[in-house]
Amino acid sequence: YPCDVIRNFSIIAHIDHGKSTLADRLLEFTGTIDKKEKGNQQVLDKLKVERERGITVKAQTASMIYPYKGTKYLFNLIDTPGHVDFAWEVSRSLAACQGALLLVDATQGVQAQSISVFHIAKERGLTIIPVLNKIDMPAADPERVAAQIQSTFGIDPNDVLQISAKTGKGVDKVLEAILTRISPPKANEDDPLKAFLFDSSYDRYRGVISLLSIQGGVLRKGDKIASCHTRKKYEVTELGIMYPEEVPTTSLRPGQVGYIACNMKESSEAHIGDTLHRVGSAVEPMPGFKPAKAMVYAGVYPVDSNDFVKLEESIKRLTLTDRSVEVMRESSTALGQGCRLGFLGTLHMDVFRQRLEDEYNANVIITAPTVPFKVVYKDNKTVIISNPVDFPDTVDSSGRVKEVQEPVVSATIIVPEEYLGEMMDLCYTHRAEEMDHRYLDTSGTSARVILTCILPLSEVVTNFFDKLKSRSSGFASFDYEDAGYRPSKLSKMIFLLNGKPVDALALIIHRSAEQEVGRAWVKKLHKVIPRQLFEVPIQAAVGKRIIARETLSAMRADVTAGLYGGHYERKLKHLVNQKESKKRMKKFGNVDLPQEAFYDILSTK
């Protein structure tokens, strides 16, 4: 396949607009997969969590052959994940493409993510083919949505394709447009080998499998290659194309997209965005990529502290397939040995937790999520804090701390006009700044509005999304991107049992939320913590200030005293039980707390 018969493209869309359905249909139309074989499972969505939640987490790539006017063309579809947490993956997948299908649901119209993915694609200089999907549905309003596309992206409505990925209507036009509108990759066979690594997965037997786009030269089995990033050397043991599963070939030629296995043992060696070259002939690396940046951190502990080794092993195995998770060991007096994990966002965190539970039966306690805060000291030293325990107890002019900063995001919300008031109110209560809005369209019964603002990331990672959905009756769509750090009035809140702090429960919150959060947590602790032999004050404190307090009343001293009769055996059983549960207790001062109590405290929202 010479370059001019190759087309490398992606499908970009807001969640649920039909990306996976269209991908399947393209594979079917080109005979890459059999219609009957696949059942109703989407080929490109593989993970169980993905299927359950109906979202794509890990990008999957597939090649297909498209015959047109007597020539066979090689189309490489580079699938991108469909969630705001994974914008980073979208960006890196797009670096291997020359064009993208911008898929918009004709019943829903342009949504928040349609806009963010459009911008990523545009920045990368890709040719964009706008496609309206779901025109088979009675609620579809293609003219109106085409007008939205024109007003938002400046795209001529005549260039917009109308399809139904479900019935297959118009899908032939999509294939034709990929061929005629997207330019072939520019890569030369005689150039030195240059391969761009844009994704990797892990195979138990062959080690790391990397997906490459060949920018120049030819790659063959047995070739000795090296990474520009790590300088490590490898030998290609297998290579081929994804058709749609791995199909070995003898070579990968310029402009092609394919996979290689090359005795890479650890997935941490496969740096996304890395450039590979032939040993002995160096090349200019492709422009570097920003590495995945953790936006949300949480501590993960086993419910039974004896299971730590097992838990750590499971986490290691899972991170082999998901390298965007940051892992550090940590320990807590309350919860024992555990790991602090960094995630791209809360969905990423939920997905990881579910995989941990599903695939490894791990019973885990996850601490409240926290974002990476920045502490700037008076000598201008800056420290990023990913665990509330490490946050300074007090931040005032007398200490060494100059200021603290929190990460903020630039948020986009698209909503029907009648919910604008609700949405603005929601944003204000979550400390929004620089709020602005404009109309996306004015035609039809209910105009759509784009609301933009700057929001603290910590407000977004709690339950902002759920509130947004419920207060807009599900109509609002939301997306955000990193917008750096801003100074903020933050406090560290700690919780005391009988005067002793419980480290696993520390939180960093905005000063305006101290009262509300302090009261709510103290109430919750009061409900969950078992009564002791004596009275236990439960307090929330910021520095030396007590914000809230509840008192747990004492229980009767002898649990056996109230038992009917004097049955010795029964009494003994109780004593044994008491002893057993003692073992699982953690002591805070003289307060006993079972590990399960933490599970209850931290797993209820």
The least distance separating ligand GTP from the CB of residue 70, rounded to whole angstroms, comes to 31
In the shown chain, the binding pattern of residues 501 to 530 toward ligand GTP, with x for contact by CB under 6 A and - for none, equals ------------------------------
The whole-angstrom separation of Cα 261 and Cα 22 is 29
Q: Which is nearer to ligand GTP, 133 or 595 (CB)?
A: 133
The least distance separating ligand GTP from the CB of residue 349, rounded to whole angstroms, comes to 17
The whole-angstrom separation of Cα 159 and Cα 131 is 9
The whole-angstrom separation of Cα 511 and Cα 184 is 55
Q: Does 137 bind ligand GTP (CB under 6 A)?
A: yes
The whole-angstrom separation of Cα 482 and Cα 328 is 23
The least distance separating ligand GTP from the CB of residue 164, rounded to whole angstroms, comes to 4
Cα Rg of the chain (Å, integer): 28
In the shown chain, the binding pattern of residues 81 to 120 toward ligand GTP, with x for contact by CB under 6 A and - for none, equals -x--------------------------------------
Query: Which of 15, 409, 505, 547 contacts ligand GTP by CB under 6 A?
Result: 15
Question: Taking a C-beta distance cutoff of 8 angstroms, is the pair 225, 202 a contact?
Answer: no
Which stretch, 14-22, 115-123, 143-151, 246-254, contacts ligand GTP (CB under 6 A)? Answer: 14-22
The least distance separating ligand GTP from the CB of residue 147, rounded to whole angstroms, comes to 20
Q: Does 350 bind ligand GTP (CB under 6 A)?
A: no
Number of residues assigned to the chain: 605
Q: Which is nearer to ligand GTP, 18 or 302 (CB)?
A: 18
In the shown chain, the binding pattern of residues 161 to 200 toward ligand GTP, with x for contact by CB under 6 A and - for none, equals ---xxx----------------------------------
Q: Which is nearer to ligand GTP, 138 or 287 (CB)?
A: 138
The least distance separating ligand GTP from the CB of residue 57, rounded to whole angstroms, comes to 9
CA dihedral 455, 459, 463, 467 (to 10 degrees): -40
DSSP string, 137-172: STT--HHHHHHHHHHHH---GGG-EE--TTT-TTHH
The whole-angstrom separation of Cα 299 and Cα 315 is 12
In the shown chain, the binding pattern of residues 457 to 496 toward ligand GTP, with x for contact by CB under 6 A and - for none, equals ----------------------------------------
Q: Of 234, 242, 237, which is closest to residue 221 (Cα–Cα)? A: 237
Q: Does 248 bind ligand GTP (CB under 6 A)?
A: no
Q: Which tokens belong to 545?
A: 């200030």
Amino acid at 212: L
Q: Which is nearer to ligand GTP, 19 or 278 (CB)?
A: 19
Q: Which tokens belong to 604?
A: 């209820």
The least distance separating ligand GTP from the CB of residue 81, rounded to whole angstroms, comes to 8
Which stretch, 129-137, 352-360, 576-584, 587-595, contacts ligand GTP (CB under 6 A)? Answer: 129-137
Q: Where are the beta strands (DSSP E) in 498-533?
A: 500-501, 507-510
The least distance separating ligand GTP from the CB of residue 449, rounded to whole angstroms, comes to 23
Q: Where are the beta strands (DSSP E) in 207-255?
A: 207-216, 219-220, 224-227, 233-235, 238-242, 246-248, 251-252
The least distance separating ligand GTP from the CB of residue 40, rounded to whole angstroms, comes to 9
Query: Which of 17, 92, 340, 348 contacts ligand GTP by CB under 6 A?
Result: 17
Q: How many whole angstroms from its chain centre is CA 430? A: 21
Q: Which is nearer to ligand GTP, 64 or 165 (CB)?
A: 165
Which stretch, 85-93, 131-139, 390-398, 508-516, contacts ligand GTP (CB under 6 A)? Answer: 131-139
Contacts of 531 (CB under 8 A, 6+ apart): 552, 553, 554, 555
Q: Which residue has the tokens 């997935």?
A: 267
Which stretch, 51-59, 92-100, 412-420, 442-450, contacts ligand GTP (CB under 6 A)? Answer: 51-59
Which stretch, 53-61, 178-186, 272-280, 555-563, contacts ligand GTP (CB under 6 A)? Answer: 53-61
Q: Which is nearer to ligand GTP, 89 or 514 (CB)?
A: 89
Query: Which of 3, 6, 43, 55 contacts ligand GTP by CB under 6 A?
Result: 55
In the shown chain, the binding pattern of residues 525 to 564 toward ligand GTP, with x for contact by CB under 6 A and - for none, equals ----------------------------------------
Helix-helix angle 112-123:87-94, to 10 degrees: 40
Buried b (16+ CB within 10 A) or exposed e, 315-345: beebbbbbbbbbeeebebebbbbbbbbbbbb
Q: What backbone phi and psi angles, to 5 degrees, belong to 147?
A: -65, -40
Query: Which of 10, 21, 76, 477 contacts ligand GTP by CB under 6 A?
Result: 21
Helices of type H across 17-170: 19-29, 48-53, 87-94, 112-123, 142-153
Q: Which is nearer to ligand GTP, 111 or 148 (CB)?
A: 111
Question: Taking a C-beta distance cutoff of 8 angstroms, is the pair 183, 125 a contact?
Answer: no
Query: Which of 6, 7, 9, 20 contacts ligand GTP by CB under 6 A?
Result: 20
Residues forming contacts to ligand GTP in the complex (CB under 6 A) are: 13, 15-21, 54-56, 82, 133-134, 136-137, 164-166
